[in-house]
Amino acid sequence: MDYKENILGTIGNTPLVKINKLVEDIPALVLAKYETFNPGNSVKDRMAVKMIEDAEKEGLIKPGGTIIEGTSGNTGMGLALAAIIKGYKMVCVIADKQSKEKIDILRAVGSEVIVCPTDVEPEDPRSYYSTSKRLAEETPNSWYVNQYDNLSNAKAHYESTGPEIWEQTDGKITHFVVGVGTGGTISGVGKYLKEKNPNIKIWGIDTYGSVFKKYHETGEFDENEIYPYVTEGIGEDILPKNVNFDIIDGFTKVTDKDAAVYTRRLAKEEGMFLGNSAGAAMKGLLQLKEHFKKDDVVVVLFHDHGSRYVGKIYNDEWMKKQGFLD
């Protein structure tokens, strides 16, 4: 009989799906690495389990302990599923700009959720970075995951996502396009693909209000680049250790409006019901189209599922209030 021992056995081996209507102007073959097929409906399941397993090996978390993490929702979900199977408590610290659905889903799988203000400096004691660190210091037998600087994040993608994309494209991939938040996906996948073929181009999708693009191009961390933005799951006001700028060939920035509009277009024109960062990645790919030639194989990674954004991106009233719908 063919079955998995538990839900964690279903993580990975997600399909590649051809994008059709939205890329009619692009001569290359464009394929989506469709990560919503993971059990927590996002790419973050991969690194969540890897980070926990590595922490267990290092003795950082003991049986019956508490996992604490600052998350935009998806990493929290992956950690929560693993915590259920492995017998840990889960505390998720989340910023208030994240969708209500993300908060409700985390509570549905037994996590304690603490909501923090978005519009504060990372060092501010109210920020979700500072709050999660403080809770880990105050909670006995707890482990603070720190997905931003925990290098098991990138390692998970080097060991699973990268090899899958290489095998699924028969090594014909020429470009990899992905939104960048913690940097684990782009750095892990990028490192694996560049080792296989150094000519593969690795493109990061950034958002306005984030520091990545300018830092990559100039080496300057410009605080004037930082301001609040609506797009969820990509961009940062810090430089996570997981972002390996050396393997990234370039960034393109996508506006909040374009990210939202293209998320809805993916649903209505491709039947791909996806999250906010997928729209950003799709629009970013279209902005890069002059880089793609006839025989190229472009893989874009779609992080998470549309069910996390029903009250926002897929809600006409919210879209109008943001000025994203005419």
pLDDT at 82: 97
Indicate whether 251 belongs to any domain.
yes
pLDDT of the residue at 98: 83
Average pLDDT over residues 216-228: 95
Count of domains forming the chain: 2
**Domain range for 222:** 7-37+160-322
Q: CATH number for the domain including 188?
A: 3.40.50.1100
Residue from 4, 18, 21, 44 carrying the catalytic annotation: 44
The pTM (predicted TM-score) of the whole model is 0.95
Neighbouring C-beta atoms of residue 88, cutoff 10 Å: 22
pLDDT band, residue 177 (cuts 50/70/90): very high
Indicate if the pLDDT at residue 311 is higher than 90: yes
Same domain, residue pair 117 and 198: no
% the chain with pLDDT above 70: 100
Instruction: Show which of 120, 144, 168 is a domain's final residue.
Output: 144
In a domain, 202, yes or no: yes
Instruction: Confirm whether 268 is a catalytic residue.
Output: no
Domain match, 192 and 266 both: yes
Strand ranges for the chain from DSSP E: 16-18, 29-34, 66-71, 89-95, 112-116, 142-144, 175-179, 201-207, 250-254, 297-302
| 236 and 107 within one domain | no
pLDDT (average), residues 252-275: 98
**Pair 22, 48 in one domain:** no
Do the domain assignments include residue 149? no
Query: Is residue 179 assigned to a domain?
Result: yes
Residue 154 lies in a domain: no
pLDDT at 22 over 90: yes
Characterise 191 by phi-psi region: left (phi > 0), alpha (psi -120 to 50), beta (else): alpha
Q: Which ranges constitute the DSSP H helices of 110-161?
A: 128-138, 152-156
In a shared domain, residues 25 and 76: no
pLDDT at 173: 98
Name the amino acid, one letter, at 280.
Answer: A
| pLDDT mean over 116-142 | 90
Residue 160 vs residue 120, higher pLDDT: 160
Mean pLDDT of the chain: 96
Residues 313 and 164 in one domain: yes
Q: How far is residue 276's CA from residue 280's CA, in Å, rounded to a whole number?
A: 7
pLDDT: which is higher, 78 or 119: 78
